[in-house]
Structure 1
Amino acid sequence: MSNKVEEEVGPIEVEIKSKIIEKLKPTHFAIVNDSWKHSGHHGLRGASNVTESHFRITVVSPEFEGKNQPTRHRLIYKILEQELGEKGVHALQLNTKTPIEWESLQKK
């Protein structure tokens, strides 16, 4: 039996997807809610949001052209400022690529 709760898309996940798609116009987007893996995490004790606190996100966007990884990540943090603040998202694992970088990875 798995510890993973039946996957259900929550309102924060929907907001994250909507904001990233609107702002970055990705050619590929994927999001995975990993919150269930961190249910007993010390950093979440007393938190009001434990079901949508940890996400893995892959974004492939032309907006990343000419930007290094830290700059790409800061761009996403800015877009998701509200979710990372008052809405209680605790952690993002980001995979940010340009379309050319993504295409190259898909050929390997």
Structure 2
Amino acid sequence: MAMFIRVKRKKTTYFLHCEPSDTTLEIKSKLQVLTDQDVDAQRLILVSNQLVLEDARTLAEQRVDNDAVVALTFKKDSGEWEDIDIEKPDDRTGAADLEGS
């Protein structure tokens, strides 16, 4: 059964088509093409429960559901991982413009 996940980092969201049987490493390989970051320099975290996804385990084994939001962090030069950084959309456009009408 096909599914998709939303992988977020800063202001960027990647919509990835995947299968529950895909491993985290396979997802990282897809992201490597998009981000130009080696799979070893990527960490994926399921936002709903802060679970760091393990490379060898499948999405189904780690309870990653369809339309799940997954945070992407990169390894810093120091060897430490970045903190999760997902920016919300800018609320200043749209609704505020309607008030003046």
- TM bracket (short chain): under 0.3
Say which one has the larger Rg. Answer: 2
Higher helix proportion, which one? 1
TM-score by length of 2: 0.28
